[in-house]
Chains A and B, each alone.
Chain A
Amino acid sequence: MALHRVWVYGDNVNTDVIFPGKYTYTLKTPEEIAVHALEDLDPAFAGGVRPGDVIVAGRNWGSGSSREQAVTALKYAGVPVIIAASFGGLYFRNCINQGIWPVVCPELRQWVQTGETIEIDRQTNQILAAGRAFAIPSLSPSVQAILDGGGLLPMLQRRFGKVTV
């Protein structure tokens, strides 16, 4: 059982407001990238986020570009889980491949506000919030294996015999 503080956002939050395109070829280090997370959506986020915080969003979180920094900016900011009513298709794949857990939960957003705390119970696959329990849908075994392995890169490193750092 883990407790997480939440940042709550609306529907159709696109990749450009999560991580602006103008930075995609110039910023390289995790620290630089994390600083611009959600820059054009919520300027308070990058300064206020703490490791373990999670995003709770509405429909179509991460629609738009295939840019991975829209996922890694949050990962580098310490966000381990993103919960949304639904995800942009490329964004969902990028989450899995970066080892950040995308949880589809259509109702949660109506029950929580930014700054509140939720519990994620991986044993029972439930989110506990506002005195309620929300089911977490299971992923297919092969996709779950990538996520559990920390993402695509660690899997490749194991395949090519390179020690994971």
Chain B
Amino acid sequence: MSGYTFAEKALARAAGLTTARAGDILDIQPDLIFSHDNSAAIRRIFEQTGAPAVVRPERIAITLDHAVPAPTTQHAQNHAEIRRWVQEQGIRHFFEVGRGICHQVISEEALVLPGETILGADSHSTHYGWLGAFGMGIGRTEMAALWATGELWLRVPESMKITLNGKLQRSVTIKDASLRILGDLGVAGGQYRAVEFAGDALSTLTLDERPVLPNMMAEFGAMSAYLPPDQAVFDYLEPRRTRAYTPLYPDHDAIYAAEYTLDVSNLEPQIALPHQPDNVVPLSEVIGQPIQQAFLGTCTNGRFEDLQAAAEVLRGHRVRCRLVVIPASSQVYLRAAQSGVLAALVEAGAAVGTPGCGPCMGNHMGIPAPDEATISSANRNFRGRMGTPEAPVYLASPYVVAASAICGHLADPREFLSDRF
């Protein structure tokens, strides 16, 4: 009999079974469930279920991150409703305005661990694959069901293996590799599947870089994505974790619905053009396209090393277009402040905002005017995503965002870094 994929092992564990196969429909009990500003809407659904109280409040996390600080009275009422609710239900893992984006905060707090399962009311819940966890996004009603019962039905997805070999060149990042995968295989390339990453390129990635891959797999149609956790991950978790864990790895003879291999050694900087994340070309093909705004931040690329990469490009320059910088969390913000990275960004002309999702999905803090183009370090550039359907959004790495901000048009970061190599 053939071996098991990571998804098969993780979901069998979450269902309390010894084994499970792709296609099985299981009732699983996740190790952590979380939601964000949508928690008020989830609460209203929960109230309709008739359930007396949330079950396992210690395994619920709620962050305020999607529109923080509240931009309108309506948003403020929404936040107030959530604050009352967490108090009432005894939800301890509640993270206030300014703490940061759910995926970053939950990772920093080590609320989910290798081999565990985490379901979030957010499509980028694939993010937690960087810790070797099974992370998947769900809808609001599904979250209300989890609050009420602690369980949810789930079909075990088929798995797809993506092998990344080689080592990225300087100023080419794992974001570029993620965009290349999307460009090669399309936004439906991982549809209904769990993606497992493998290959020698993975161990060369820093802990700040790793989440980019599983995070971007939400754009690939994947239900979940996984990186095999190594010693670097275990060391990161050790001082933070509050419970024991057992990492899970796929068997060598597991069955994959598809396999794909990419050598990243000769990869050039990539960019996704409007209006889809798989509309990817090498950056060199579109150099010079004018932009009016650059946005650095999000769960994809708002970590310390992302800000540091941008600062490296921006030092000694002034931006020619608006540059909005939003650290992914308060810890990122603090580290950037203490290390001088933040000063470099502000000196170059950046406008720095409260940790959170910022303008990524068009709520506030950097919504473009019609026809204004934005270069963003985010993961998604659907039409209207940043709040204005007529505004084109380009996706690229923090290096490319910074270089383009200096030029006021799409630009190659290597132009600004070559003297320092």
Q: Is the CB of B38 within 8 A of A16?
A: no
Total number of B residues with any Cβ neighbor in A under 8 Å: 55
Residues from 1 to 34 in A contacting B, C-beta threshold 8 Å = 12, 14-17, 20-22, 24-26, 28
Residue in A16, A28, A90, A143 whose beta carbon sits within 8 Å of that of B385 in the complex? A16
Given known A21-B361, A21-B362, contact A16–B192 (CB-CB < 8 A): no
B387 in the interface (beta carbon within 8 A) = yes
- Can you name the residue of chain A whose Cβ is closest to the Cβ of B194? A89
- Can you name the residue of chain A whose Cβ is closest to the Cβ of B157? A89
Q: Is the CB of B383 within 8 A of A160?
A: no
Q: Is the CB of A161 within 8 A of B139?
A: no
Given known A60-B221, A66-B123, A94-B139, contact A86–B191 (CB-CB < 8 A): yes
- Give the distance to chain A from B55, nearest Cβ to Cβ, in Å: 12
Docked Cα-Cα span, A92 to B149, in Å, equals: 22
Stretch at the interface among A45-53, A113-121, A125-133, A149-157: A149-157
- Give the distance to chain A from B152, nearest Cβ to Cβ, in Å: 9
Residues from 138 to 182 in B contacting A, C-beta threshold 8 Å = 138-142, 144-145, 148-149, 153, 155, 157
Q: Is the CB of B187 within 8 A of A12?
A: yes
Docked Cα-Cα span, A157 to B389, in Å, equals: 39
Interface on chain B toward A: helix, strand, loop, or mixed SS?
Answer: loop
Given known A63-B221, A68-B140, contact A25–B38 (CB-CB < 8 A): yes
Stretch at the interface among B67-75, B96-104, B293-301, B318-326: B67-75
- Give the distance to chain A from B273, nearest Cβ to Cβ, in Å: 14
A42 in the interface (beta carbon within 8 A) = no
Q: Is the CB of A160 within 8 A of B50?
A: yes
Stretch at the interface among B41-49, B256-264, B409-417: B41-49
Residue in A21, A67, A94, A162 whose beta carbon sits within 8 Å of that of B363 in the complex? A21
| Most chain A CB inside 10 Å of its own CB: which residue of B45, B221, B276 | B221
Docked Cα-Cα span, A28 to B78, in Å, equals: 11
| Most chain A CB inside 10 Å of its own CB: which residue of B48, B66, B157 | B48
- Give the distance to chain B from A25, nearest Cβ to Cβ, in Å: 5
Query: Which chain A positions have C-beta within 8 A of B41?
Result: 25, 28
B25 in the interface (beta carbon within 8 A) = yes
Q: Is the CB of A88 within 8 A of B37?
A: no
Residue in B51, B74, B122 whose beta carbon sits within 8 Å of that of A66 in the complex? B122
Q: Is the CB of A20 within 8 A of B362?
A: yes
Q: Is the CB of A16 within 8 A of B74?
A: no
Docked Cα-Cα span, A151 to B142, in Å, equals: 10
- Give the distance to chain B from A150, nearest Cβ to Cβ, in Å: 12
Given known A66-B139, A146-B153, contact A156–B51 (CB-CB < 8 A): yes
Q: Given known contacts A63-B221, A66-B123, what 6 new A-B pairs fall within 8 Å (CB)?
A: A16-B385, A22-B387, A24-B38, A25-B67, A26-B75, A86-B191
Q: 11 A–B contact pairs at CB < 8 A?
A: A17-B384, A21-B362, A65-B123, A66-B121, A88-B221, A89-B191, A93-B139, A143-B153, A143-B155, A157-B49, A160-B51
5 shortest A-B CB distances, which residue pairs? A162-B50, A160-B50, A21-B361, A16-B382, A66-B137
